[in-house]
Amino acid sequence: MHLNHLDKYPDLADGICHGMTCWDNRQVRVARWPALSSAPKGTICLLHGRAEFIEKYYEVIRELRQRGFAVATMDWRGQGLSDRQAGHPLKGDVRHFSDYGKDLIQFIREIILPDCPPPCFALTHSMGGLILLSNLPQMRIKIDRAVLCAPLIALSTSRYSFLGHTPSQSGIRKLTALMRYLGQGERYAPGVSRTPFDRQGFYNNHVTSDGPRYDRNRQFLIDYPDLAIAGPTIRWLHENCKAMERLHSSDFQSSIYTPTLIVTAGNDEVVDSRAAELFALTTRAAGAVSIAGSRHEIMMEREIIREQFWAAFDSFIPGENALQPSGN
């Protein structure tokens, strides 16, 4: 396992990257960076979204280290340089959503807790937020605080078309369940891209309004095509819909005690920002802030938007429960 393109980020050359052998013998790529300060504020557990990879977050990792944190991150199974599903490596797929959670728990237990300075904070994007939230009740003593950017709490269903119609999320769950029952689970979900590259270009993209950052992230995939995956499978969509449905249970929401800040994007076309804000309203440990004008990838947006995100992050992390340096 290795990290690509470090020649453009020489200050990240001290990162440690290797494979983590998971519970089912799959290899997941993990990486960690020490804090730049001799008295670190703690460690940020950085969790990406679907189809993302460690290199895409070099700029964010640099900014977190400049804030006094160590950083630990990973490629989710099935994407980046982690092992893919056999037979169709370009398909975004997972057998069971809980597989992500098992990997996350192992990552924290084997990589962060023994080798990274406490306390541990989580910073997530999109699907990373759904994975963290789904496992947060059992990690309350491991994660002190969490910031979730544009979390996948509900889909923006306009991206998924079934037989010319756009169903509700509940309808998508039922349709994908039927299609899995009929043996179609490993096929691409209807309406998603079957190529790992965005052929429409910046002016038709749905994730960022920052042209240079969009081009930078696309260039990563051109230079290192092994990092890329295409659209999700029917099985992936069904598993994620079931996971999202569980979040809306009042019993589940009352089981979250970890202070959580949800940052939503005002112009998000990938996930439903209103559902994320409602989740924060009905979950006692959570709060929400919306950034007007931002598209889905808040941390990859224009500076005026990123400044608002970092202001929210800095006001919430490390928070009043953080360990204080000796002598204070």
| pLDDT tens profile 142-182 | 999 999 999 999 998 666 555 566 678 888 899 999 999 99
* Measured CA angle at 54 (ends 104, 112), to 5 deg: 40
CA gap 272, 156 in Å, rounded? 5
Q: How far is CA 14 from CA 8, 39, 62, 65, 69, in A?
A: 13, 18, 12, 12, 14
All structural domains of the chain = 6-154+203-228+257-316 (3.40.50.1820)
| pLDDT tens profile 214-252 | 999 999 999 999 999 999 999 999 999 999 999 999 999
Model pLDDT, residue 328: 41
**Res 327 pLDDT > 80:** no
| pLDDT tens profile 84-105 | 987 788 999 999 999 999 999 9
Beta-strand relationship, 260-265 and 286-291? parallel
**Sequence-distant contacts of 195-200: CB under 8 A, at least 24 apart:** 195/230, 196/51, 196/90, 196/221, 196/225, 196/228, 196/229, 196/230, 197/221, 197/222, 197/228
By C-alpha distance, which of 20, 88, 81 is closest to 227? Answer: 81
Q: Which residue has the tokens 């038709």?
A: 204
- Name the band, by pLDDT with cuts 50, 70 and 90, for residue 190: confident
**Res 276 pLDDT > 90:** yes
By C-alpha distance, which of 88, 243, 235, 98 is closest to 175? Answer: 235
By C-alpha distance, which of 50, 86, 81 is closest to 224? Answer: 81
Instruction: List residues bridging with 43 in a β-sheet.
Output: 70, 120
The CA radius of gyration of the chain, in Å to the nearest whole number, is 19
